[in-house]
Structure 1
Amino acid sequence: MKSETMEEHKEKSSIKVSCGVITLSDTKFKDQKIEQETDISGKLIKDELNQKYNVESYKIIPDEKDLLINTIEEMINENIDVIFTTGGTGIGSRDITIETIEPLFEKELLGFGEIFRGKTYEELGSGALLSRATAGVYKKTIIFSMPGSPNAVKLGVSIVINELPHLKKHLKE
């Protein structure tokens, strides 16, 4: 059942949403130009978002806490509304994305991770336990963090792509 209020908010929402994409990968970070060609997940996010919005910043960085924070800050300073990260969300020793960004969140968007894991469970079963996808708000910017697999980013983007203008509207109030 659709909410009339939510539909009204969506209609009044700005359609211009500026997006940033950050791929965290120790193996892909060598030469930005060459490695962007092999960054399947980052490219999938960019292609999906560019169908409706503008991807204005795209970076591949190694799994390093300070570099991730600096890259997020740079994108915020470039007036990016929504940042998508892919990679670094696992439970390995080099996976630092979640531990780095969650302390930044002023507000969490718990529904994103819940829906992501629910849909992943429907497709993969108990392997969904490994997903630490998360989302939140930092400095009036929404950050979505997803695993690095192409299927994970397709799922993550599909969950939120139509809601981005609505989310932006609420952030800018």
Structure 2
Amino acid sequence: MSFLVGILFLLVSLVAFQNPETSLVAIVIYFAVTAIINGIYSLFIRTRIKEFTGYRSTGFLVLAIAEILIGLVLLFRLDTGIIALAYVFALWFIMDSVRNLFLLGPTRLVSVPLYWFSMIVNILGIFVGFSLIVDPIVSLLTISFLVGFYFLMNGLIYIVGAFSN
């Protein structure tokens, strides 16, 4: 079974490398469906909380409806979702790098070389994030490449695992 999953992952990686748009559409559909499910689940949780405590959280209701609406927009406006994905990916780079810079202080106590390496990598991450905002096409191609690379690496792991058992 591991071998078949590995082959399937390799095939998916080839599709991602050959047709980046397909992998971007799949990512947007995944986020859309996840948002809709999260929104419905949030409505369910809000109802359960109200039943047990009598507390009616309007904020929870607004967020649940917003999740459902965002999911529906992403699902029925794939082009909007793909554009948003490019900017979300770029902002993720920036926010992750800034967060890591804030957490850098204790690293110096553990290892000075690691501290400087982390500082340089995170500053580069901020620059990469801003460059991805400036050129969202590069951001989209990077996402598509990472999807293909993920499936390629995991496909190889599954295939190797199949022969090592």
State TM-score, norm by structure 2. 0.25
Counting strand residues as a fraction of each chain, which structure ranks higher? Answer: 1
Counting helix residues as a fraction of each chain, which structure ranks higher? Answer: 2
Name the structure, 1 or 2, with higher relative contact order (CA <8 Å, separation 6+).
2
